Structure 1
Amino acid sequence: MKKIKITLFLLVLLSITSCDDFLSEKPDNRTEIDTPEKISELLVNAYPQDSYFDFAETMTDNVFDSGLANTLRKNEQNYNWEIQSETDTDSQAAYWDACYRAIAHANKALEAIEQLGSPKSLNPQKGEALLARAYSHFMLVSFWSQRYNPATAAKDLGIPYVTKPETTLITKYTRNTMAEVFDFIQKDIEEGLPLLTNDYSEPKFHFNKEAGKAFASRFYLIKGNWDRVIELSNDLGSKPVGRLRDYASYKLNDFQTQNMRYADSDEPTNLLVASPESYYARASYSGSSGSRFFLSGTRYNEIMGTPTNIFGKAWQYSIYSRNSFITAFVPKFYEYFKYTNVTANIGNGYLAEVLLSNDEFFLNRIEAHVMKGQIADANAELEYFFATRTTGYNATTDKLTEAKVVAKYPVIDNEYTPFYTMTPVQASYIKAIAETRRRDFIHEGMRYFDVKRFNIVVKHEIINKPTNTLVKDDKRRAIQIPLHASSNGIESNPR
């Protein structure tokens, strides 16, 4: 069922006339978007059609030097926090372009809605366009700017926040400040959230109501608005039974089925699913040159082994390996390959990815409880989360307590340094949640958000070379602006 659903979605996506054509032409040659149906088709492309998983994950402390003889140039550049010289699929530049293309489609949809008189019947499309625009800008500022800090946001470099369709062939943009970018994102989120609907034939491929709230909770977590995160997540409750990922059932499936299930739109935890062009699964799982800097088979125990379980039991995650355990991985990715020339055996690969889930949403809620000082609530909810991932969990004996968390995750001076202050107890819980998020979203690049906002030091060891360290407040934490963008006048990040 999953394979059929994803395949059909991709075929629909690829069969729609490319909106990029009219967006790159002179205004008088552009296709007219003058019906609700055309607006809905336009919004199919309001999501990034490239993936950030590869480069984001490789910049984190989830990745080690496996020692494989060769590697892709961009894999090594990501590992060393260098600007990438390549601009192909899965590169930093490709994702930058994909986000701004998605923003262009969202802006064109919003303009068309306005030109049609903004009828209430188009509120769902308007809400989706606003959330899609906010999402792409949020992802851009998360990678290409330094971390958000309200004390310095008014002068820190953000990214260009684009709210209107381009009307000239070459438009010059300047970077907004971080404060301006975050204000724009918040405005789009709050205006768009009430307009969202679940009334789609395939709601998981759109910003539906739950996906919108999950994204908003990620944004407000970065801002430190704990009350808003809790408010947004109240529908989950303290025990979202049947709404988190069921890893125990995954282990009953074969390897391929586990890959296919992970991003299945039928999985209750998955809230927003995408199918960008990507070859990340191949490089990761084949043990090819693309995976020298990946999760090492000799180091995965530090992140996912039994010693990391607070109950002292094995985790439910399935771990596979290649090359006699040189690299290790959790099955998460299914690639759909669309042939453009069957005879020549060439085409394009598309990867099913989960962009937003209840798993992240629930962890955001728990973190907000901790920062509000609601430790009892955090204990109950974090214990429930662990229960869904622990083999042989016993509700009677496996109890989460403050003493256990503090002992398991002792405070290390200057380890986690967000822009806000934390008590020692809060620091232990935040570390516990960050390590949980790290483990749960392994390979998906999510760890980079925590590395950045908590200012975590990352050491990348390189065989026969000095260790490369990403120190606190390192300028390399903000990815360098792609060369083609800086050549067009966008200010580069300082180095």
Structure 2
Amino acid sequence: MKNNKLTVFLMAVFTVFASSCSDFLDTVSDNRTEVDNASKITSLLVSAYPNYSPFLLAELSSDNMMDNGIRFDDTQLQEDAYLWEEPTDASYDSPYALWESCYKAVASANQALRSIRELGDPASLNPQKGEALLCRAFAHFLLANIFCMPYNPLTAEQQLGVPYPMEPEEEVIVVHERGTLAQTYAWIEKDIEEGLPLVNDVIYSVPKYHFNKKAANAFAARFFLYYQKWDKVIEYADKVLGANPETMIRHWEEDFGALSQVDDVANQYISEKKAANLMLNASYSLWPIIVGPYDIYKRYGHGMDVYAVETIQSNGPWNWRGGLVMSNIIVSIQQKNPFPKIIDYFEYTDKTSGIGYDHMVSVVFSADETLLCRAEAYALQQNYAQALKDINTWIKYNSVISQDDGSDLTLTELRTFYRSLRYAPALITSRQQRSVKKTLNPEGFAVTAGTQENLIQLILQLRRLTGLQEGLRWYDLKRYGIEFSHNRDNDTPVVLTKDDPRRAIQLPQDVINAGMRPNPRNN
């Protein structure tokens, strides 16, 4: 495994404008490739997508993971993320790798935007301009959700945001102010709303590795869900799902029912041919090995207590033991219980020595998650009929056909199911205390007891299943202020309360050393 580290904070338009790392260090900033035509701008935007992933940090921070015991192996980064401590690792999947990767992507997007302006901002370059704006918004959205507290309109002006550079840097080391979370979200909103109308799929040879039109709308739907603007969630989700969302979402029985080989399942899951997959991304990562169907790194994982009681094999209001297709394709590693959606692609640079890079391909946006974004927005608007309609669409195509009686879930059945459950306590010391029903402490909005809460409980559970192994659960735990604990082998569980500042992962130490204000921590 190779890991190319850069130890500065924000560098001016990095390797995309230099013939090599050594050349870049030996020459002045003006001795670089000129980005002066549509073809070069389009090529530049390939590097405007982060090539490191937040999956490890987010998933290990969430309640999808547990400590399977000290007899199993792990990495220091896994342990730090699981215990909400400050990781010092700077390799794959670390806060440093994500921070640097996102700001490299921002640098490329900003250079593309400057080049477009210098060419006179012609309408012919609108698609590239739209992509650049969305890439800049997306990188900051990733950073904000990892390194900031959840967005709350009542406190966002007091919460730290992330730096939002809008021009290519001219100096090697530039320290920006973090600003507030309110400012960060306002800038993301501006970039999305300016960029999305300009997107045009025809400029891409492989649209699903770019912000194509549907992916851009899916991004907008998720962003506005986190931004608590329910009307806009529905507006953008409608543009993704169309009049018949059943044609857009994943059909689990059809896609996976006849498959038995891990590689076949994974390749089907990330296939660009599937309508449900709106945008894909390739990144450097050890996450496929850590979370995937490999007999290694088994200490912190999706263990049996979580798997059996809270996720894939837990009871659902539509079926006993969930009745989900994914439960039939779990690889039998009990400390991980992985559905093989993420596998390792190893790129050899020296096959004899076994040296190279670990890669993964992941689904960044899917129609399934967009459907649940819309369902949640409907529920929060108290449009319960439409919310339930979207829920039933999800259930229909995720369930094993032989276990599905064809009838839709009703609000009465939903009420009966959740009334029968107790809330999971924040501090869990046994499997018997676990539950899919959580106490909700939403950040900046209210959820009314009864029908609305029942729908939100179910939607959050379906989102948990849809985003399993992909870190999405962490952001929902933050948005809803859900308190929970992580067990520790032969030690007291550690609890994360709703206002715990550790819900914002600490900035990389190199960034703090460069002058960036760190996230606060309790003494």
Please say whether Structure 1 and Structure 2 have the same fold, judged by a TM-score greater than 0.5.
yes
**Corresponding position of 2:251:** 246
The amino acid that maps onto 1:344 is S
Matched, 1:307 2:295: no
**Corresponding position of 2:453:** 427
Shift of 1:307: 1.6
1:51-106: CA deviation from partner (whole Å, max 9, x where unpaired): 11112100000001122433111111110011111010111211111111111110
1:112 to 112, 115, 118: 115
**DSSP-derived class of the 2:205 partner:** coil
Matched, 1:415 2:440: yes
**Corresponding position of 2:352:** 343
1:98-136: CA deviation from partner (whole Å, max 9, x where unpaired): 111111110011011111111111000000000000000
Structure 1 gap ranges (5+): 1-16
**Corresponding position of 2:216:** 212
CA distance in structure 2 between the partners assigned to 1:19 and 1:376 by the alignment: 50
**Corresponding position of 2:227:** 223
Matched, 1:259 2:256: no
CA distance in structure 1 between the partners assigned to 2:242 and 2:176 by the alignment: 43
**Corresponding position of 1:8:** none
- The residue correspondences of 1:349-388 to structure 2 (distance < 5 A) are 349-388=358-397
Structure 1 residues 379, 346: closer, same or farther in 2, change over 3 A?
A: same
**Corresponding position of 1:12:** none
Matched, 1:320 2:320: no
The amino acid that maps onto 2:130 is G
Matched, 1:98 2:101: yes
CA distance in structure 2 between the partners assigned to 1:232 and 1:414 by the alignment: 29
**Corresponding position of 1:38:** 40
**Corresponding position of 2:147:** 144
Contact 1:238 1:381 in 2 (8 A): no
1:131-170: CA deviation from partner (whole Å, max 9, x where unpaired): 0000000110111111111111112111111111010111
Contact 2:317 2:417 in 1 (8 A): no
Contact 1:284 1:294 in 2 (8 A): yes
Matched, 1:452 2:478: yes
Matched, 1:82 2:85: yes
Shift of 1:374: 0.9
Could you tell which deviates more after superposition, 229-238 or 129-138? 229-238
1:19 to 13, 16, 19: 16
CA distance in structure 1 between the partners assigned to 2:405 and 2:304 by the alignment: 34
Matched, 1:123 2:132: no
CA distance in structure 2 between the partners assigned to 1:159 and 1:307 by the alignment: 40
Taking only aligned residues, the RMSD between alpha carbons, in angstroms, comes to 2.0
Shift of 1:190: 0.4
CA distance in structure 2 between the partners assigned to 1:409 and 1:93 by the alignment: 41
1:294 to 301, 326, 341: 301
The amino acid that maps onto 1:32 is E
Structure 2 gap ranges (5+): 1-13, 424-437
1:61 to 60, 63, 69: 63
**Corresponding position of 2:426:** none
**DSSP-derived class of the 1:276 partner:** strand
CA distance in structure 1 between the partners assigned to 2:230 and 2:208 by the alignment: 26
Structure 1 residues 468, 231: closer, same or farther in 2, change over 3 A?
A: same
Could you tell which deviates more after superposition, 413-422 or 127-136? 413-422
- Between the aligned residues of both structures, percent identity stands at 35
Contact 1:339 1:347 in 2 (8 A): yes
**DSSP-derived class of the 1:134 partner:** helix
1:211-256: CA deviation from partner (whole Å, max 9, x where unpaired): 1100001111011111111111224246412311121121211221
Contact 1:174 1:489 in 2 (8 A): no
CA distance in structure 2 between the partners assigned to 1:106 and 1:36 by the alignment: 14
Contact 2:218 2:366 in 1 (8 A): yes
The amino acid that maps onto 1:229 is V
Structure 1 residues 37, 454: closer, same or farther in 2, change over 3 A?
A: same
Structure 1 residues 202, 361: closer, same or farther in 2, change over 3 A?
A: same
Shift of 1:186: 0.5
The amino acid that maps onto 2:303 is S
CA distance in structure 1 between the partners assigned to 2:349 and 2:490 by the alignment: 43
The amino acid that maps onto 1:64 is M
Matched, 1:484 2:510: yes
Contact 2:54 2:146 in 1 (8 A): no
Contact 1:217 1:229 in 2 (8 A): yes
**DSSP-derived class of the 1:444 partner:** coil
CA distance in structure 2 between the partners assigned to 1:335 and 1:306 by the alignment: 28
Contact 1:306 1:314 in 2 (8 A): no
**Corresponding position of 2:281:** 274
Contact 1:309 1:315 in 2 (8 A): no
CA distance in structure 2 between the partners assigned to 1:377 and 1:363 by the alignment: 11
**Corresponding position of 2:6:** none
1:282-337: CA deviation from partner (whole Å, max 9, x where unpaired): 122355553311101343112111523523351111443455x2331111013322
Shift of 1:432: 0.6
1:12-66: CA deviation from partner (whole Å, max 9, x where unpaired): xxxxx94164796642222211111111111001000011111210000000112
The amino acid that maps onto 1:329 is P
